[in-house]
Structure 1
Amino acid sequence: MQITVFGPLRSAAGGKTADVAPSGETVRDLLDAFVARYPNAETHLCDDEGDVRPSVRVMIGDRPVSLDDAVPDGETVKLFPAMRGG
C-alpha cells in the first residue's frame, strides 16, 4: 500500500511516498507497518510509551480517520506527523 507522507516523515521514508504492507486492515496496523519499515519515523508518530501522538493525522481520500478505522483497498492514504512547537 502506498502512503503519501508529509513533513519530517518524507526524510524518514526517503521521499514523498512510502510503500508498506500492513499485517491487518486498520489505520493502526498501517502505522505499525510504517514504523517497522521506517524506524526513524517513530519519534514523529509515537510518544515515549509507544502510543500514537494525538496530533498525528491520517486521511483516507479527503476525510480524516481514527486509528481503528479500516483502510479500504485502493484508497489514497495521507500521513501527517505530530505537530511540534508553537
Structure 2
Amino acid sequence: MEITVYGPLRAATGGKRVDVEFDGGTVAEALEALIEAYPRTKPHLVDDDGAFESSVRVSIDGESAALEDTCSADATIGVHPAMRGG
C-alpha cells in the first residue's frame, strides 16, 4: 500500500510517500501497519492512552475516511498527523 504522509510524519518516515505491507482491512489497521513499519510515527498518531488522536485525518484515494472504514490493500492513503499547539 502506498501512503502519503504530511507534516512531521515525513521526518518520521524519511519521505513523503512510503510503501507499507498491508493486506486490507480498516483504516485503523492500515495506520497500525504504518506504525509497525515506521515506529517513529506513533507519537504523531496515538495518544498517551493508546488510542488514535482525534485530530488525525486520513484519506483513501483522495476521499476523507474514518478509522472504521474499509481500506483495500491497493488503496492509496494520505495521513495528516494530529495537530498540536494553539
TM-score by length of 1: 0.91
Structure 1: tracts of 5 or more residues without a match: none
Distance 1:29 1:23 in 2: 10
SS, match of residue 41 in structure 1:
helix
Shift of 1:54: 0.2
CA RMSD of aligned residues (A): 1.3
Amino acid at match of 1:81: P
How many residues end up aligned between the 2 structures?
A: 86
Note if contact 1:61-1:75 (Cα within 8 Å) is conserved in structure 2.
Answer: yes
Shift of 1:62: 2.5
Give the structure with the higher percent strand: 2
Shift of 1:24: 4.3
Distance 1:7 1:13 in 2: 11
Tell me the residue number matched to 1:22: 22
Amino acid at match of 1:71: C
Tell me the residue number matched to 1:11: 11
Determine what percentage of the aligned residue pairs are the same residue: 47
Q: Deviations over 1:14-70 (max 9, x none)?
A: 000111112541101100000011111100000011100000000012221111111
- Is 1:58 aligned to 2:58, yes or no? yes
Tell me the residue number matched to 1:78: 78
Distance 2:14 2:45 in 1: 16
Amino acid at match of 1:61: D
Distance 2:22 2:52 in 1: 16
Distance 1:35 1:74 in 2: 18
